[in-house]
Structure 1
Amino acid sequence: MAYSVLVTGGARSGKSRIAEARCLEFGAPAVYIATAQAHDDEMRARIAEHQARRGPEWRTISAPVELAAALAESDGAPRLVDCLTLWLSNLMLAGHDWRAAGEELIAVLATQVSPVVLVSNEVGMGIVPENALARAFRDAAGLINQWVAQDAQEVIFAVSGLPLKVK
């Protein structure tokens, strides 16, 4: 039976640490499905920070766009997807159909045998963005989060490094 956990919150809210701990509660070794792409020095440093924090109980798969395939191919161990909003950004900037990819993600999550913990940002809690692309991204991220949360068995909201169980 599929079991998924969504960990969401603002930037630097502690989402990833909370999600890593929750994923390892399902057992080790675990699989870290990374959606980030190192396009600049700042992002390379962020990725290195995440990698340094994880221990030998993690195996990493890079999936900046093909997230559903990475989940399907890695079933058999607990997985952590970090993060849905970077994945969405990758899809949108490359001109992919994010709705179709989101629907494919939901369908694949329903078929998983091993647990999946997904990290996502809450991007709609601030001001209305000034440009159309930013507004489209905010709206798409909100929908993806809703789709994942609806089917998830757990939803955790990260606030100042603390987990608040929502569902």
Structure 2
Amino acid sequence: MTLVLGGARSGKSRYAESLIEARPGPWRYVATAQAWDDEMRERIAHHRARRAPPWETVDAPRDLPAVIRQAPAGRPVLVDCLTLWLTNAMLDEAADLAAETDALVEACRSAAGPLVLVSNEVGFGIVPENALARRFRDEAGRLHQRLATTADRVVLVVAGLPVTIKGDA
């Protein structure tokens, strides 16, 4: 398992895709985004346009652990991105965030093939001014720490350049 972190437009998705594409296909792309507005629809379209067969896209805005568990054995899987999944979970007020995070970490631990997870590193900025944004930053940080402990490799992408934090470069 590889955890790829980076800021907005850092090149983290493109880097993660290159890790998966270095393996034999077909490849599975698990998308967590939801197209709530035109700008987000454009972002999703841009990401999809980069991926041609043998990429297979599976949408999983909420039940990410199940999608990871159901991936065919040996199939390389890319999840993009965990912070969107976290946002979706936080906006679902009925969600038990701790239980869902536990389920996600366990699904990642037991993945049946190569797994690359993409997420936004949001802890480098200033302290947000509102409680929801502070909670999001804190929950993302906790999620990243738990996954980084489990991951074989952790990479931070800055200005398109991957910096290996844990594991082999």
TM-score, structure 2 length as denominator? Answer: 0.95
Which runs of 5 or more structure 2 residues have no equivalent in the other structure?
none
- Between the aligned partners of 1:124 and 1:71, the Cα distance in structure 2 is 26
Which runs of 5 or more structure 1 residues have no equivalent in the other structure?
none
Q: Is the 8 A contact 2:71 2:112 kept in 1?
A: no
Match of 2:42 in 1: 45
- Between the aligned partners of 2:118 and 2:97, the Cα distance in structure 1 is 17
SS at match of 2:10: coil
SS at match of 1:65: coil
Match of 2:88 in 1: 90
- Between the aligned partners of 1:125 and 1:110, the Cα distance in structure 2 is 27
- Between the aligned partners of 1:125 and 1:97, the Cα distance in structure 2 is 27
CA deviations 1:73-101 (Å, max 9, x no partner) are 11321000000000000000011122211
Task: Tell me how far 1:106 sits from its aligned partner.
Answer: 1.0
SS at match of 2:61: coil
Q: How does 1:1-167 map to 2 (within 5 A)?
A: 4-76=1-73, 77-95=75-93, 96-167=95-166
SS at match of 2:36: coil
Task: Tell me how far 1:109 sits from its aligned partner.
Answer: 1.4
SS at match of 2:116: strand
Task: Tell me how far 1:159 sits from its aligned partner.
Answer: 0.5
Task: Tell me how far 1:42 sits from its aligned partner.
Answer: 0.2
TM-score, structure 1 length as denominator? Answer: 0.96
Please report the RMSD computed on the Cα atoms of aligned residues, expressed in angstroms. 0.8
Of all paired residues, the percent bearing the same amino acid is 54
Q: State the one-letter code of the partner of 2:90.
A: M
Task: Tell me how far 1:13 sits from its aligned partner.
Answer: 0.2
- Between the aligned partners of 2:30 and 2:137, the Cα distance in structure 1 is 23
- Between the aligned partners of 1:110 and 1:28, the Cα distance in structure 2 is 22
